[in-house]
Structure 1
Amino acid sequence: MMEKRSVKEEIISSLPGFNCGICGYARCDEFAGALIRGHAKLEDCRFLYQEIFTKNLEELQRLLKEEKIIPEEKVITGLLDDYEADFILKPLPSESSCREILYPFTNEELNIGEVIRYRPLGCPITHFAKIIDENHGLITVHIVGPCHRLDKDFEFKEIGICLVSGFEGIIEGRLPSVGETVRFIPHHCMMQKVHSGVIVQLEGERALIEGIDLKVWAPPIKLGR
C-alpha cells in the first residue's frame, strides 16, 4: 500500500520543476517549503502563469487553500446589480486608477497631460480623466474625479461621449486565461458595476482587457436581499 504523500511533496509535484531560481529560491523544493511557510507566493513563479501550467496552478491553489495558507476566494458582486464578478481590476503600482482606453467621438485635438470630461457610452456617470497616452486615435487615461468635481480653478476639455475599448490594471481575485471572457469591476468605478471583456494580455496579475461591455448576460446572484 502506497503511503500518502505529504503536502510539500504534492506541491513539488505540481511545480514546473525547472529549478531556475527566478522565484528567489535555488530549487523548486525550496520554493515549495517557502510557500507552506507563507514566505513566498505562487505569483513568484512566472512559469505557473503560462497556459501549459494552468492545471498545475489550479491544483496548487487548491492545496494551499486546503492548508489555509491562502484564503478562500471571496465572492465579488457588483453593488448596483448584484452580478457576480471574477475579479476587481486595481491600478498598476504607483498609479491612481486602472488605465482606461477610450475612443473619443470628437475631432478636437487631445494632448497627453490634458484633463478631459466625458461620459462612457452606456454609462450614466460623467468622468474626469487625465490623458497619459495617445495611439492612432485611442487615448489612455487615469480617472481623476467624479462628475461633481467642478470649480473655478479646475480646467478640462469637454469631449462628450467616448467608447471604452479597454482596461489595464492588476487583478485581485481569480486569475483568468488569455482569450477568456471575464466579468470584472474596475476599482475606480463609481457605481461598482460589473463590466465584461476579453483578456488579451496577461503577465502575472497584470491584465489588458478589451471588447468592453457594460451588459452582462447572466442572471444576477442575489445575496439575501
Structure 2
Amino acid sequence: MSNSSNNTDPRSRLLKLLPGFNCGVCGYARCEEFAHFLLKNKVEVESCRFLLQEIFNENRNEIREILKEEDVIPEEEKFVGVLDGYEADFILHPLPGERSCREVLYPFTHKELKAGDVVRYRPLACPITHFAKILSEDNGLITVHMIGPCHRIDPESDFEFLDIGICMVGGFEGIIEGNMPRIGETVRFLPGHCMMQKVHSGVLVQLEGKRAIIEGIDLKVWAPPIKG
C-alpha cells in the first residue's frame, strides 16, 4: 500500500523501495542516481531488472504510485555542463565577498608552500592550467582561490608564482544554487568559476544553510548526458 501521506521527500521514499544493489544494470552506477532520474521522468521503472522479479512486486507497484503523484518534483532550472552535456544538481558559487569557490588541493610537490603564495598548477584530469592564491596550508593540503588562468599565462609578465605541477583537487566549499542535497549524498555540481563548465562529482560532507563542503572530487560523472 502506498505511503502517499508520508512527509518524507519522494527521492528518499524511492530509495527505500529500490533493491539497493548499485549494480549499474539500469545505466546508473548507484540506485540513488536511478531514483533521481525516475523523478525527472528520464528513465523507466522497468530499467531496474531486479524490480521485475516477483519478490519486488509490491515495491514496484508502490514506486509507480509515488511517480503518479502530482508535483512530485516541481519544474526547475537545469544546470547543464557546456563541455560534456551532463546535468548537474546545482551550481556552487563563491562564499560571500570571495571571488571563487574555495578548493582544497593535494599538491604533488616538495616545495614549501604557505598562505599568500600564488601557485600555477594543473588539476589532475583537467587540461587547463590554473593559477590560485593560497589561503591556508595544513599538513601538506592547501586551500586556495582561483585567480586565473587566462591573464596569468603571459611569459613576459612580472607576475610571480610557484609552479607546482599537477595537483589533485580534494574538495570544494561554496554556496549552493539549485537542488539542496543531503549530507553523505553523492552530488553532481558545476563550480561557478570553472572555465570549461565541466560537471564535477563528489560527496557532500558538510552543509550549513546553503554553504556546502564537498569532498572526494571526481571529473568522471556516472550518469548519461542530457539529450535534446
With normalisation by structure 2, the TM-score equals 0.66
Encode CA deviations 1:144-191: one digit per residue, 9 max, x unaligned: 011452242211100000000000000010010000000000001000
| Equivalent position to 2:109, from 88, 106, 117 | 106
| Equivalent position to 1:206, from 202, 211, 215 | 211
In 1, distance between residues paired with 2:128 and 2:167? Answer: 12
User: How far does residue 132 in structure 1 lie from its aligned partner after superposition?
Assistant: 0.2
Q: Secondary structure at the match of 1:188?
A: coil
Q: Does 1:97 align with 2:108?
A: no
| Equivalent position to 1:220, from 216, 222, 225 | 225
Partner letter of residue 136 of structure 2? D
| Equivalent position to 1:158, from 163, 167, 179 | 163
Partner letter of residue 182 of structure 1? V
| Equivalent position to 2:84, from 81, 98, 108 | 81
| Equivalent position to 1:130, from 116, 121, 133 | 133
In 1, distance between residues paired with 2:127 and 2:218? Answer: 14
Structure 1 equivalent of residue 173 of structure 2: 168
Structure 2 equivalent of residue 144 of structure 1: 147
In 1, distance between residues paired with 2:205 and 2:222? Answer: 20
Q: Secondary structure at the match of 1:145?
A: coil
In 2, distance between residues paired with 1:181 and 1:122? Answer: 19
Q: Does 1:187 align with 2:218?
A: no
In 1, distance between residues paired with 2:151 and 2:218? Answer: 25
How many pairs were matched up? 158
Structure 2 equivalent of residue 118 of structure 1: 121
In 2, distance between residues paired with 1:85 and 1:208? Answer: 16
| Equivalent position to 2:183, from 165, 178, 186 | 178
In 1, distance between residues paired with 2:163 and 2:119? Answer: 6
Answer whether contact 1:88 1:172 (CA < 8 A) is retained. Answer: yes
In 1, distance between residues paired with 2:137 and 2:114? Answer: 8
Answer whether contact 1:125 1:147 (CA < 8 A) is retained. Answer: no
Encode CA deviations 1:93-148: one digit per residue, 9 max, x unaligned: 00010001000000000110010000000000000000001111100000001145
Partner letter of residue 109 of structure 1? E
